[in-house]
Amino acid sequence: MTSLPNQYFISIYSNQKKKLIKNFADDYVNFELKEIYSSNTKLWDIDFKIPIFNSAGMFKYSEAYYTCAMQGAGAWLAGTYTTKRRIGNFKKGVLHPFLPLPKSEIAVNWMGLPNEGIELAAKKISKLEKFNNTPIGVSISADPGNNPTLILADLVEGMKLLEKANVDFIELNESCPNVSDGHSLSNDKLDEDLVYRMEYISQNFLKFRNRNLPLILKLSNDTSPELIPLFIDIAIELGFNGLNLGNTSTNYTYTKEFLTEKERKMFNYFTNVYGGGVSGISLKENSKKLCKLASEYLQNKNLKTEFHIIRTGGIDSADDILESKNIGVNLNQWYTGYFKNFGKYGHSTYSEISKQLV
Summarize pLDDT for 335-346 with one digit per residue, the tens: 999 999 999 999
Residue 181 covered by a domain: yes
Range of the domain at 119: 6-357
Task: Answer yes or no: is pLDDT of 146 > 90.
Answer: no
Note whether residue 152 is domain-resident.
yes
Is 183's pLDDT higher than 80? no
> For the residues 151-161, what does the mean pLDDT come to?
98
The answer to whether position 353 is within a domain reads: yes
What are 260-289's pLDDT values in tens digits? 999 999 999 999 999 999 999 999 999 999
Q: What is the CATH number of the domain that holds 160?
A: 3.20.20.70
* Residue 187: predicted pLDDT: 57
Looking at the structure of the chain, the number of domains it has is 1
**Does 1 fall in a domain?**
no
Within-domain flag for 209: yes
- Reported as a single tens digit per residue, the pLDDT across 195-239 is 999 999 999 999 999 999 999 999 999 999 999 999 999 999 999
In a domain, 332, yes or no: yes
- Local confidence band at 2 (pLDDT 50, 70, 90 cut-offs): confident
Write the secondary structure of the chain as one string of H (helix), E (strand) and C (coil): CCCCCHHHHHHHHHHHHHHHHHHHHHHHHHCCCCCCCCCCEEECCEEECCCEEECCCCCCCCCCHHHHHHHCCCCEEEEEECCCCECCCEECCEECCEEEECCCCEEEECCCCCECCHHHHHHHHHCCCCCCCCCEEEEECCCCCCCHHHHHHHHHHHHHHHHHCCCCEEEEECCCCCCCCCCCCCCCCCCHHHHHHHHHHHHHCHHHCCCCCCEEEEEECCCCHHHHHHHHHHHHHHCCCEEEEEECECCHHHHHHHCCHHHHHHHHHHHHHCCCEEEEHHHHHHHHHHHHHHHHHHHCCCCCCCCEEEEECCCCCHHHHHHHHHCCCCEEEECHHHHHHHHHHHHHHHHHHHHHHC
Q: What is the mean pLDDT of the chain?
A: 94
